[in-house]
Amino acid sequence: VQLQASGGGLVQAGGSLKLSCAASGSIYRLNGMGWYRQAPGKERELVAAITSDGSTNYANSVKGRFTISRDNAKNTVNLQMNSLRPEDTAVYYCNAAIKRSRYSGENDYWGQGDQVTVSS
């Protein structure tokens, strides 16, 4: 199983970016998906999460600015980021909880990380 993220980059404060992440490989069931971020010198933190039925959860710092969505047919999760701030600068990681077969347990998988830099 692989998670491939894309869409990061450099943007000015107030701008927007959209991150996308696609899961591929042997997937029986794709459960919760989410985005985490890690800024230099800080711990990795949850940004947003979405369950298989579409329920969402956001960090307080991004509520009202970021929107997470998923396409279950394509095994993708997106993060639309608006009104970006310099403090949003971090490496963003996608995450997915995946069952690889009917009889296997659920495991967490991570994307490779995508740099988002917001200039002031």
Q: Can you tell me which residue has the tokens 């990380």?
A: 113
- CA 4 vs. chain centroid, Å, equals 11
Tokens in use for 17?
């970016």
Q: Which residues of 73-105 are buried (b: 16+ CB within 10 A; e: fewer)?
A: eebbbbbbbeebeeebbbbbbbbbbbbbeeeee
Residue ranges for the chain with pLDDT beneath 50: none
**In the prediction, which pLDDT does 30 show?**
94
pLDDT in tens, 41-67: 999 999 999 999 999 999 999 999 999
State the Cα torsion 68-69-72-73 to the nearest 10°: -140
Angle at Cα 68 formed by Cα 104 and Cα 1, nearest 5°?
A: 30
**In the prediction, which pLDDT does 119 show?**
97
Tokens in use for 100?
């690889």
Q: Could you say which DSSP state residue 87 is in?
A: G
